[in-house]
Structure 1
């Protein structure tokens, strides 16, 4: 199956240029796009929050994803590398027109996938290291990190639903029924009611 992927960041941008480029490319290659996916969303958004994420999860071995350029897949290099790595691990090909990439299951793509995976791992380690260093510095400056020992959070799963719970209790609805309605355990309701009474 061949998928054409088009992404623009704002409503003011048009998808027509990308669609035209992909159609022209497919004509030259004598192939046809079986399904189009268009979305208006920032490339900085998580892949799971985008239609592209859903498409990648359902694509099968041998499928081809065609887009006008790699930047359509994501805003930053790390995100793009993650998407390409996922595609190559699942034997899904990614073709770009402007960049002229044909990433599939050949040896060059596998070397590239290794480089992408290694780069992503290095970036994750650097982020982790920077976080640890920042926390150590804060601690050295005397800043108390986290919630004080023995103190429970003031927010619970039911915070903000006090009025609704009181109304249900006034109508003689059981704690178990309230728990089912609010998708929490009966004891969570019991403990919450004790606090608000």
Structure 2
């Protein structure tokens, strides 16, 4: 993230632009647009503002998302600059729209190729007889481990898993029930 900030500051200085604010966004397929701070960015930017990004792929997870976001920004009359692609997008500029689509498509293609190579490598390992993943029966660490003794004591007293979860401050009694079953904590009861 610091390299991106530095690159943006250098670009702004070279082009006599002023950087007023940074919004650090996380591009993750598991997070909502609110969690990635895209909604915040859209609400902060107004007419005649300029958004500078190091590259277009930083704006979204897919071609459609990047194009949609850039189109929304251009409709709001926000100038969008992508440094690495040397793009300066303004409203009603057909060349900018074509370039956005192409660069976004290439970024998505690159992600797809990486995914494909990963899947092929895993398939190759499997063909070689290498077992993927953790061995069957492996017990992973759990957030409940720190309270294992207390949980076992409370089970021995006859408390339900739901009551134990509430007592210990866990919101997920189903997860605790799975933990109790996998660790066979009721066996000593």
Task: Give the shorter-chain TM-score range.
Answer: 0.5 to 0.7
User: What is the RMSD computed on CA atoms of the aligned residues?
Assistant: 4.6
More strand by share: 1
**Residue in 2 that maps onto 1:25:** 17
**2:132 pairs with 1:145:** yes
1:90 is matched with 72
Aligned residues: 165
The answer to whether structure 1 residue 136 and structure 2 residue 136 are counterparts is no
| Residue in structure 2 matching 1:37, options 22, 29, 32 | 22
Give structure 2 stretches of 5+ with no counterpart. Answer: none
- 1:178 aligns with one of 156, 164, 181: 164
Q: Partner residue of 2:105?
A: 118
Alignment partner of 1:109 is 2:109: no
Q: How far apart are the structure 1 equivalents of 2:50 and 2:165?
A: 45
The answer as to 2:145 corresponding to 1:160 is yes
CA apart distance, 1:129: 1.7
- Counterparts in 2 of 1:178 and 1:19: CA distance versus 1, 3 Å: farther
Contact 2:50 2:80 in 1 (8 A): yes
Shift of 1:138: 0.7
The one of the two structures with greater contact order (alpha-carbon pairs below 8 A, sep at least 6) is 1
TM-score (norm 1): 0.55
CA–CA distance in 2 between the matches of 1:145 and 1:14?
Answer: 40
Gaps of 5+ in 1: 1-6, 27-32, 40-44
